[in-house]
Structure 1
Amino acid sequence: MSANRPTEATEESAARAASGGDGAAPDTYDVIVLGGGPVGENVADRVHAAGLSAVVVEHELVGGECSYWACMPSKALLRPVTARSEARRVPGLSDAVAGPLDAPAVLAHRDATVSYWKDDGQVRWLDSVGLDLVRGRARLAGPRRVTVEGGRTLVARHAVAVCTGSRPVLPNVPGLAAAKPWTSREATSAKAVPGRLVIVGGGVVGVEMATAWRALGASVTLLVRGDGLLPRMEPFAGHLVAESLAEAGVFLRTGVEVSEVRREAPGGPVTVLLDTGDEIVADELLIATGRAPRTEDLGLETVGLTPGGWLEVDDTLRVDGVPGGWLYGVGDVNHRALLTHQGKYQARVAGAVIAARARGVPLLETDRWGAHVATADRHAVPQVVFSDPEAAAVGLSAAEAERAGYRIRVIDHDLGAVAGASLYADGYRGRARMVVDLDREVLLGVTFVGPGVGELLHSATVAVAGEVPIERLWHAVPAYPTISEVWLRLLEAFRGD
């Protein structure tokens, strides 16, 4: 992160902010960033490091969804679960961890991880690198102009970056909204373990929260409309995770839909009615079925865009259809890859692009994988599902590669058959797959499922993003005895050794 001093414009506007401002004259910055999550922070830091003045506008906690209601708290809940699960399969250690998790201790650690939902540390970081912060809800008010609740107006010389993220969506089910179900926010911040929890949705949030709350003592029912879990990954990923959840005591029902929800009194039991006619009674209901962009009240209509929709952007993250090219949509709002690390990647690209355009420098690196384009969003998106076992993937699945017209070969290997896996845990179960482009002999995608495989993923990401030829990968020798030796087995299978 940069520690550059603020520009003169930043110092002047900071002084006005400190005095409270009278709203009579707008504060002018080179760049206005809407949203103070990881994406907005990175855009602001990158442009500031390039010598531009920048301000971040945020109406909630600086640090955003990931820091307080998503990535960080969910992983704090899940790490004790997976650590105990793996320890129970290590001879000499299994008896020592035979008991239940200490739920209050896990929740207390979760609270500390999110700084007790206070953003003092994040605000100090903004101040340390010379970035201004304006608290309040922001709306566009025409080209390069932003109003903030309370009457303050900001004007951008060069760019406005919308980094407001996404929010959970509740499906249109009778009685659902009135029942006040959990979304991902409540699921990651709950103060106590529910006795009975129904989760609707078989994607990442549904799977991870089923894993966490079941291990913490809740009776969990997982309802999935489709025929399996983790539909965006290779089918075997969902199958292995489903087997493990069932063994842990999660009741999994696929091919069902919720037809109605009833909750007679606030805080009372909730009844979930299914399209099969069945009823399930629980203490809490978590809806984990999708997300929508936080663009519904941003004033997009003042610049000719439709409020509430995803922002269509080009590969430089500039919003399509806005005259002058001053508006950028970075992170979840553009719907390219709804992952924090991908949003931060986009922020690095957008920051470089905004700085170059502000200086009047031509964008010279706009070819595929160039510094001024976001290429990985289409070709090398890594993701880890922190279930038990973990599921990790990057690039295209076999089905996606075939639909895209590639001539492919799929190589699978049993992760449990690798020497390092037998040392990691007794009865290690897992699987690895690589999808090879036969015309270029490079990897299009890689998937791992098994305990601890999240730490294997970056090697696969490097191979996919770098389009490393198979023959060169053969010379990347994995250490013995590690689970990484699965790379050797996959490559041997491809070569016919």
Structure 2
Amino acid sequence: MAEDLPEEETYDVVVVGAGPPGEVLAGRVAEAGLRVALVENELVGGECSYWACMPSKALLRPVAALTEAREVAGAREAVTGALDARAVFARRDGFTSHWQDDGQVRWVDSAGITLVRGRGRLAGPRRVAVETPEGGSRVLTALHAVAVCTGSRAVVPDLPGVADARPWTSRDATSGREAPGRLAVVGGGVVGVEMATAWQALGSSVTLLVRGDGLLPKMEPFAGEIVAAALKDAGVEIRTGTSVAEVRRAGGDGGAVALVLDGGERLEADQVLFATGRAPRTDDLGLETVGLEPGSWLAVDDSCRVTAVGDGWLYAVGDANHRALLTHQGKYQARIAGDVIAARARGEGRLDTRPWGAHVATADSEAVPQVVFTVPEIASVGLTAAEAERQGRRTRVVDYDMGQVAGASLFADGYRGRARLVVDEDRGHLVGATFVGPGVAELLQSATVAVVGEVPMARLCHAVPSYPTISEVWLWLLEAYRGGGGSPAH
């Protein structure tokens, strides 16, 4: 009956999904004076805060710290034991706020954003129906924009026996409280290598199963090779060219997992982690009510507007648009999209849509930075050499052994690492950089600034790195580029 229908609530903007992109976008438009509703059916703060970035790096940091101590004479002698797994888990739990979102909710309230708990679904143009935890319903209408910020989920392949085997996904791997005796990790991407690094150090005997012929196939080949060597040194068994055909768990929860590999070989483990990719969280989002395919990635323009929906009211920000599945890129997109929504709400006719303009997310295609927190770390931004070649660019690639840098040799005895610059010779500036080695994550922002700023190579030579730091690798890369010589130690 008509009287049973929920009353519609009107906002300027409705954001579905309160992970980092959703929070940033909601905050951005709220700062612009718009009324915002933020819809979330799990924890405010999303995947990154509770099951991805923060807990995974909290697990990995003690591994790196212990390894770095063992690689410096004097400190090495003071290290007398293995990681204290209980202390590592306790520290990890602190960084996830013990899976409570009270602090995030307080921020939402302080920003003047209306938090709506429940599962939100599109219900036609500019409308979001919310099923509340209490079993009720609310309908939110957006005057200006609806933004889908629902993220992505781990994909578990549809293999015989996999459902009954109850495998780990990335969520289980980052929130686990006890190291399995034998852990099989399926997948050689970022999640696979990071979790292999963490759980090997926490006490598991890890076997890494990789379908391709190497690790981290989207990065420079030497990055995967160096990390593979380090994982093997740590005790991880790596099997490349291997696929899983079937998974079976014996008995109850405590039974062993049997993985049948292509070719019929059988591998037993106490737990298996599938790190085999991501899918969009759009399958139960009501996309069909606005003419879109349920469960699909949402194609957007550079302002993050969904291109297949008319009138420009629907946006997709973060993983859901498949542009760059990284938290920091999702937050970057949220800042861009938030400014676009606010400008259009104010009736501004002309937006700055030039490359690198205020209203386009140019960095998604030109300068995506990423750190892989393995031991050693990998830090990269922009194009790999292979990507630049596929784009038809005339490039020059410059490599350098980071162990030859004075600051690196001070950082760790026997420092092992490598750096690469990819230079567009026609345009005269950097389009890609990759660093592999202990402590390289903090080199990445300088490379990102160089790529985004399109700093001429001749000008970069005037950016003098402090001696003796690892960042002095920039000097020797630039010297190699200009054809100079000299000893890295002087």
- Please indicate the TM-score interval, normalised by the length of the shorter structure: over 0.9
The residue that corresponds to 1:264 in the other structure is 250
The residue that corresponds to 1:480 in the other structure is 467
1:354 aligns with 2:354: no
Contact 1:415 1:432 survives alignment (8 Å): yes
AA aligned to 1:51 is G
1:61 aligns with 2:33: no
The residue that corresponds to 1:389 in the other structure is 376
**Within-5 A mapping of 1:168-247:** 168-247=154-233
AA aligned to 1:159 is A
Alignment partner of 2:121 out of 125, 131, 139:
139
1:123 aligns with 2:109: no
How far apart are residue 91 of structure 1 and its match? Answer: 1.2
Contact 1:357 1:363 survives alignment (8 Å): no
DSSP 3-state at the match of 2:310: coil
How far apart are residue 22 of structure 1 and its match? Answer: 8.3
DSSP 3-state at the match of 2:172: helix
1:325 aligns with 2:312: yes
Q: Which digits, 9 at most, give the CA deviation of each residue in 1:310-350, with x for residues without a partner?
A: 00000110001212110000000000000000000000000
Contact 1:194 1:283 survives alignment (8 Å): yes
Alignment partner of 1:28 out of 1, 7, 10:
10
Q: 1:284 to 1:363 in 2, by over 3 A?
A: farther
Higher mean displacement: 271-280 or 155-164: 271-280
DSSP 3-state at the match of 2:29: helix
How far apart are residue 276 of structure 1 and its match? Answer: 2.9
**Within-5 A mapping of 1:3-82:** 24-82=6-64
DSSP 3-state at the match of 1:122: helix
The residue that corresponds to 1:312 in the other structure is 299
The residue that corresponds to 1:423 in the other structure is 410
Alignment partner of 1:162 out of 140, 148, 152:
148
DSSP 3-state at the match of 1:435: strand
Alignment partner of 2:389 out of 390, 393, 402:
402
Higher mean displacement: 264-273 or 52-61: 264-273
AA aligned to 2:328 is H
| In 2: Cα distance, 1:28 partner to 1:220 partner | 52
Q: Which digits, 9 at most, give the CA deviation of each residue in 1:142-161, with x for residues without a partner?
A: 00011001221100000000
AA aligned to 1:197 is L
AA aligned to 2:411 is Y
Contact 1:88 1:98 survives alignment (8 Å): no
Contact 1:141 1:147 survives alignment (8 Å): yes
Contact 1:353 1:363 survives alignment (8 Å): no
AA aligned to 2:18 is G
Q: Which digits, 9 at most, give the CA deviation of each residue in 1:414-454, with x for residues without a partner?
A: 00100001100101000000001011110110000000100
The residue that corresponds to 2:69 in the other structure is 87
| In 2: Cα distance, 1:337 partner to 1:343 partner | 7
The residue that corresponds to 1:15 in the other structure is none
DSSP 3-state at the match of 1:295: coil
How far apart are residue 79 of structure 1 and its match? Answer: 0.2
AA aligned to 1:307 is P
The residue that corresponds to 2:238 in the other structure is 252
Q: 1:133 to 1:23 in 2, by over 3 A?
A: farther
| In 2: Cα distance, 1:467 partner to 1:415 partner | 24
1:369 aligns with 2:356: yes
The residue that corresponds to 1:452 in the other structure is 439
Higher mean displacement: 406-415 or 268-277: 268-277
AA aligned to 2:105 is V
Q: CA RMSD in A?
A: 1.0
| In 1: Cα distance, 2:458 partner to 2:33 partner | 44
How far apart are residue 97 of structure 1 and its match? Answer: 1.4
DSSP 3-state at the match of 1:402: helix
AA aligned to 2:461 is W
Q: How many pairs does the alignment contain?
A: 477
| In 2: Cα distance, 1:264 partner to 1:479 partner | 58
| In 1: Cα distance, 2:271 partner to 2:59 partner | 18
Q: Which digits, 9 at most, give the CA deviation of each residue in 1:56-114, with x for residues without a partner?
A: 00000000000000000000000000000001011111021131100000011111110
The residue that corresponds to 1:3 in the other structure is none
| In 1: Cα distance, 2:350 partner to 2:14 partner | 21
Contact 1:363 1:372 survives alignment (8 Å): no
| In 2: Cα distance, 1:255 partner to 1:147 partner | 46
How far apart are residue 364 of structure 1 and its match? Answer: 2.7
| In 1: Cα distance, 2:361 partner to 2:98 partner | 34
| In 2: Cα distance, 1:351 partner to 1:478 partner | 36
The residue that corresponds to 1:435 in the other structure is 422
**Within-5 A mapping of 1:276-315:** 276-315=263-302
DSSP 3-state at the match of 1:324: helix
| In 1: Cα distance, 2:99 partner to 2:5 partner | 30
DSSP 3-state at the match of 1:272: strand
Q: TM-score, normalised by structure 1?
A: 0.95
Contact 1:210 1:222 survives alignment (8 Å): yes
How far apart are residue 23 of structure 1 and its match? Answer: 5.8
Structure 2: gaps spanning 5 or more residues: 485-490
Q: TM-score, normalised by structure 2?
A: 0.96
The residue that corresponds to 2:488 in the other structure is none
Alignment partner of 1:102 out of 64, 79, 84:
84
Identity %: 70
| In 2: Cα distance, 1:449 partner to 1:475 partner | 24
How far apart are residue 134 of structure 1 and its match? Answer: 0.5
